[in-house]
Amino acid sequence: MKAKEWLNTMPSQFSPYDVDALSIENYKGIVFSGMGGSGIVGDVLKLLLERRGIGIPVISLHGYQLPPYAKRDWLLVAVSYSGNTEETLSTVQEAIQKGLNIICISSGGKLKEVADKEGFRFISVPSGYAPRYAFGFMLSAVMSLFGFGKSLENIRKNLNENKEEIKETAHSIAQVLQNYIPVVYSTPLTEPIAFRWKTQINENSKTLCYTAVLPELHHNEVVGLDNPIARNLCHFIILYDPEDHPRVIKRVEITVQIFKELGLAPLILQGKGQSLEERLMYLAYLEDWVSFYLADIYGYDPLPVKIIDRIKESLK
């Protein structure tokens, strides 16, 4: 099965690209534009740049329009694996009109055509993959742009060293999730990866999955746990990182205690690795395998996304 082959080789996707790193001081703000598996790249980079202490606004956009304050001296990084994502192409056209600096990343398509025509910087990623299975290529390209090349080497090494353990853990998690709606609770540092969990389960396993993030979920979502009919439909997963704010860690502990009092046993997961980047990609790779094994349990080929294809056809 091609999906399994791609997953087994996923760690090798995390390699530095031979590109000149950007001088961030040249820009007043950065917008990452992308949808689906391409869009999560922007979510991760926004987190990493903010953790690095970047002194300008960073926006991860999943939609058609740029924020009104993104103007000249801003940078748009447009990521579309196919190069044909209409929302991303829309933001590029708007950025051209507004005079933003633009960098395009894709395997080809209309995005490459626009970049070639307008003379924008273009970074090519390998073609022939389903977009969500090319996550490592796209993330590596963007991380290389922003000076995270060394981190990519460490990510690859960490995933290769832990691959068999990850696969074994993922298989066990998939069995636990069978016949439940997965609900992934995250912390601010794991939020982009929780979204990756949701989307991979949606697309690969062909089932519903929902996310919520601490501390916000302590102000609304938790009250829904009072309803036994609703909560018993779900299996809860909590993702966290040791570098999260101490009060967030405390909230994780409180949440676990609430689940125990309700007779529920959430899966509590922390990535392995020396750095935040390594731990996040550990959790992402774990989820790739969880969604693959869950698809197998349900009898689905993880690759087809028939409803998405139907929507795209209806929009033509």
Marked catalytic residue, from 150, 245, 250, 312:
312
* 62 tagged catalytic: no
**Is 312 one of the catalytic residues?**
yes
Give residue for tokens 């969500």: 132
43's CB contacts (< 8 A; 6+ apart) are: 32, 60, 191, 192, 195
Q: Considering 25, 117, 219, 261, which one is annotated as catalytic?
A: 219
Burial of 285 (0-12, 13-18, 19+ CB in 10 A): buried
SS (H, E, C) the chain: CHHHHHHHCHHHHCCCCCCCCCCHHHCCEEEEECCHHHHHHHHHHHHHHHHCCCCCCEEEECCCCCCCCCCCCEEEEEECCCCCCHHHHHHHHHHHHHCCEEEEEECCHHHHHHHHHHCCEEEECCCCCCHHHHHHHHHHHHHHHCCCHHHHHHHHHHHHHHHHHHHHHHHHHHHHHCCCEEEEEECCCCHHHHHHHHHHHHHHHCCCCEEEECCHHHHCHHHHHHCHHHHCCEEEEEECCCCCCHHHHHHHHHHHHHHHHCCCCCEEECCCCCCHHHHHHHHHHHHHHHHHHHHHHHCCCCCCCHHHHHHHHHCC
Active-site option among 191, 203, 277, 278: 203
Q: Is the dihedral of CA 139, 283, 7, 14 positive or negative?
A: positive
- Which residue numbers are catalytic? 203, 219, 312
